[in-house]
Amino acid sequence: MKWCRLNCLYCRTLPALSRPLANILHHKTKGNPLFVKQVMLELYKQRLLYPSLSRRRWRWRWVWEADKILDMKIPENVATFITNSFDRLPFEVVSALVILSCFGASADISLMEVLEREIAPLDEAVAHSVLGKRNGEFYFMHDKLQEAAYSKMKPEERCLHHNRYGLALGFVAARERDDRVLLTAVSQINHGDRTQSLMKSKL
C-alpha cells in the first residue's frame, strides 16, 4: 500500500493529525495492509494510541505516543508479529483456535456447531483479526496462525482430537446422510492415523 493511500486510511480511521502516524507506520510496516491493521490494534492495546477529549472543541480525537511508537520493536514480517501476539489472546479464544486448526486453514461454521462448540470465541478471534469469516466459514488470516494454533497440541493430543472429531462427524454423517460431513470425518480419522504412525516411527 502506497503512503498516500495509507494516509487516507488513517484520515478515515483517525480524523485528526493522521500524517505523522502514517509516516511512522508506513516506515515500520512497508505499507502491508494486514500488518498495518495488526500494528494499530497492538498500539491501542498498549495505550500508545488512544482517544482523548479535546477541551478546545469539546470532542473526542485520537492521540498517540510518537516517540514510544518509533522505539517499539516490530518483527520484520507480519507472520512473526501476529504469531507473537497469539499468546495474548483470552484462553477460551486460543482453545477455540486450537480446535479449528485441526481442520486446516478453514472450516465451515456448521461443522463447529455439529461438534457443539461455542462460536462466540471464534467471533472474538475475528475481532482480533486472527480469523476471517465469509460464506459460512471461519478461516485463518495467515498460515502461520494456523500453525501456531496447531502447535499448541502435543502429537498425542492431535491424534486424540482428530479421531474424536472424525468419529463425532461420522455419526452425524450417517444420521443425516451428508456426504460432505462424511468426507470431513474420514479426513479427520486419516489425520489421526497419520499422526499416530508418525509417533510410533519416532519411538
Q: Hey, where are the domains in the chain?
A: 3-74, 86-201
* Strands laid side by side in the 137-140 sheet: 106-108, 137-140, 131-134
**pTM of the entire structure?**
0.65
From first to last of the 203 residues of the chain, give the pLDDT tens digit: 454 554 455 555 555 446 777 777 777 777 767 677 777 877 888 888 887 766 655 566 677 788 887 887 766 666 677 677 777 789 999 999 999 999 999 999 988 888 877 889 999 999 887 899 999 999 998 787 898 899 889 988 999 999 999 999 999 888 888 888 899 999 998 888 776 665 555 54
Cell numbers linked to 112: 463447529
Asked whether 158 and 127 are in contact (CB, 8 A), the reply is: no
CA 165 to chain centre: 22
Q: What is the pLDDT of residue 3?
A: 46
Q: Which pLDDT value is given to residue 70?
A: 81
Q: Residue 101's pLDDT is what?
A: 94
Identify the three-state secondary structure at position 87: coil
pLDDT score recorded for residue 56: 59
Residue from 81, 148, 82, 142 nearest 106 by CA:
142
The per-residue b/e assignment along 154-170, b for 16 or more CB within 10 angstroms, e otherwise, is: eeeebbebbbebbebbb
For residue 87, the model assigns a pLDDT of 75
Residue 181, pLDDT score:
87
